[in-house]
C-alpha cells in the first residue's frame, strides 16, 4: 500500500504545521478539528507560514496556492479518516483525549491505514493498545516549528511492524524530513535529553545562579543554541514541559527528573510562556 491521502487530527501548533508540510509536499490532507473557528485559525496560520516561505523564495506563490488547495477541513472524525492511508493525531497531550480520538478512529478508518501519534511523551505502546491494530501504530514526533525543523523522531511501539516503520520512514523522507528511529521509552530521545536541560536551567534561576536572560545568553553564545533553554521552554509551553518532566519522573522513578518547584509554581500561576503572553519572558 502506498500512502496517498493523509488525515491530520488537531489543528493546533503541531497539527497545523504537520498539515502544512504534507500539503506542501503534494499530499491531499483532511484537517480534522472540533469547531469551524479552530479550523479557520489553523488555516490562517498555514496561510501565514506558507506566505513566509514565499517571501523567503523557498516556494512560489503557485506552490502556496496548490498547498492550500490540498487541505480540506472536516469537523467529524469518522468522515475525515474514512479514506485516509495515514492518520496523524496531534491532539493535546492528555491520555483521556487521545483515548476517545483513537477509539473513534479505529472504528472508522479503512483496513490497512497507518495510525501515527505526534505525542511528545505518552507511551506509543499504551496508545496503540487502545486500537485493534497495534502493529500499524507508530509515533511520528515532529518538532516546532514543523515547517522548519528537519527531524521526525519515529517511535516504534512494542508491536509496531517493520512494514509500518518502513512506510512511515519513506513518507517522512517525502516531506523533506530526516527520520530517526527510536524505541518507546519515556521521553523517547528528544525529550529525555532536552527536558533535563530545560529543568536544570530553571533550577539555576530558582537557586539565584543567574537571571533568565543570563542563563539563556550563556547557552546561546557559549553553546550556539538558537534559543536559550528558558526562551525555548516558553516557546514549547511551560505546562507541556512540566507534563513531560512528570512522565520522565514517574516513568523512570528517578529523582534526577523531578520538576523544579519554580516550574510547578509558574504553571500554577498560569504563566505558561508564549501562549499566555508571559513565562520566563514577556510576550505582550
Ligand atoms: N513556518 C515556516 N517558516 C518558518 C516558521 C514557520 N512556522 N517559523 C520560522 N520560519 C522560518 C523563517 O522564515 C526563517 O527562514 P530563513 O532561514 O529562510 O530566513 C527561519 O525559519 C528562521 O526564522 P526567524 O528568522 O524568524 O527566526 P530565528 O532565526 O530566530 O529562528 C527558530 C526561529 C527556527 C524557531 C529558531 O529559533 C530555532 O530553531 N529554535 C529552536 C526550536 C526548537 O528547538 N524546536 C523544538 C522544540 S521541542 C518540540 O517541538 C517537541 C517537543 O516534544 C517538546
Q: Which domains does the chain have, with CATH numbers?
A: 6-183 (3.40.50.720), 192-275 (1.10.1040.10)
d(CA 72, CA 193): 37
Q: Span 23-43, mean pLDDT?
A: 98
Q: Is 225 a catalytic residue?
A: no
Return the pLDDT at 104: 98
Check if 153 is active-site. Answer: yes
Reported as a pLDDT band with limits 50, 70 and 90, residue 169 is: very high
The predicted structure's pLDDT at residue 284: 85
Residue of 141, 190, 199, 278 marked catalytic:
141
Cβ of residue 191 lying under 6 Å from some atom of ligand 1: yes
Q: Quick one: which of 191, 192, 227 has its CA closest to 212?
A: 227
Cβ-count burial 235-257 (b if 16+ within 10 Å, e if not)? bbbbbbbbbbbbbbbeeeeeeeb
Q: Which DSSP symbol is given to 147?
A: T
Ligand 1, atom 8: closest residue by C-alpha: 145
Q: 88 falls in which pLDDT band (50, 70, 90)?
A: very high
pLDDT of amino acid 1: 75
Q: Is 241 in the pocket of ligand 1 (CB under 6 A)?
A: no
Which of 148, 240, 242 to mutate for ligand 1's pocket (most ligand atoms within 8 Å of CB)?
A: 148
Q: What mean pLDDT do residues 152-166 have? A: 98
Cβ(13) to ligand 1 under 6 A?
no
Ligand 1 close to Cβ of residue 1 (< 6 A): no
Whether 89 and 15 have beta carbons less than 8 Å apart is answered as no
37 among known catalytic residues? no
Secondary structure class of 223 (helix, strand, coil): helix
Ligand 1 pocket member 274 (CB < 6 A): no
Q: From CA 5, how far away is CA 80, in angstroms rounded?
A: 11
Q: Which residue lies with its CA nearest to atom 33 of ligand 1?
A: 226
Average pLDDT over residues 243-252: 95
Kindly state the cell numbers that stand for 86.
495515514
279 has a pLDDT exceeding 90: yes
Give this prediction's pTM.
Answer: 0.96
Average pLDDT over the chain, rounded to an integer: 97
DSSP string, 36-49: HHHHHHHHHHHHHH
| DSSP percent split of the chain into helix, strand, coil, nearest 5 | 50, 15, 35
Amino acid at each position: 500500500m502506498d500512502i496517498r491521502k493523509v488525515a491530520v487530527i488537531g489543528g493546533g501548533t503541531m497539527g497545523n504545521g504537520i498539515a502544512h508540510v504534507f500539503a506542501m509536499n503534494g499530499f491531499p490532507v483532511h484537517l480534522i478539528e472540533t469547531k469551524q473557528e479552530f479550523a479557520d485559525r489553523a488555516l490562517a496560520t498555514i496561510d501565514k507560514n506558507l506566505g513566509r516561505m514565499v517571501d523567503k523564495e523557498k516556494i512560489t506563490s503557485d506552490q502556496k496556492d496548490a498547498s492550500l488547495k490540498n487541505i480540506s477541513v472536516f469537523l467529524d472524525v469518522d468522515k475525515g479518516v474514512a479514506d485516509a492511508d495515514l492518520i496523524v493525531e496531534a491532539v493535546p497531550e492528555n491520555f483521556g483525549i487521545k483515548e476517545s480520538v483513537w477509539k473513534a478512529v479505529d472504528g472508522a478508518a479503512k483496513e490497512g491505514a497507518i495510525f501515527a501519534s505526534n505525542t511528545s511523551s505518552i507511551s506509543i505502546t499504551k496508545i496503540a493498545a487502545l486500537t485493534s491494530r497495534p502493529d500499524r501504530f507508530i509515533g511520528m514526533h515532529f518538532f516546532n516549528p514543523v515547517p522548519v525543523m528537519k527531524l521526525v523522531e519515529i517511535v516504534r511501539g512494542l508491536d509496531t511492524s517493520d512494514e509500518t516503520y518502513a512506510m512511515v520512514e519513506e513518507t517522512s523522507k517525502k516531506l523533506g524530513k530526516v527520520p530517526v528511529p527510536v524505541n518507546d521509552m519515556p521521553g523517547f530521545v528528544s525529550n529525555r535529553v532536552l527536558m533535563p536541560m530545560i529543568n536544570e536551567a530553571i533550577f539555576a534561576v530558582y537557586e539565584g545562579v543567574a537571571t533568565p536572560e543570563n542563563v539563556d545568553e550563556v547557552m546561546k553564545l557559549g553553546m550556539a543554541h538558537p534559543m536559550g533553554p528558558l526562551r525555548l521552554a516558553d516557546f514549547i509551553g511551560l505546562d507541556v514541559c512540566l507534563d513531560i518532566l512528570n512522565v520522565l519522573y514517574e516513568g523512570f522513578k528517578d529523582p534526577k527528573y523531578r520538576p523544579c518547584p519554580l516550574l510547578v509554581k509558574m504553571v500554577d500561576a498560569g504563566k505558561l510562556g508564549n501562549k499566555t503572553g508571559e513565562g520566563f519572558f514577556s510576550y505582550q
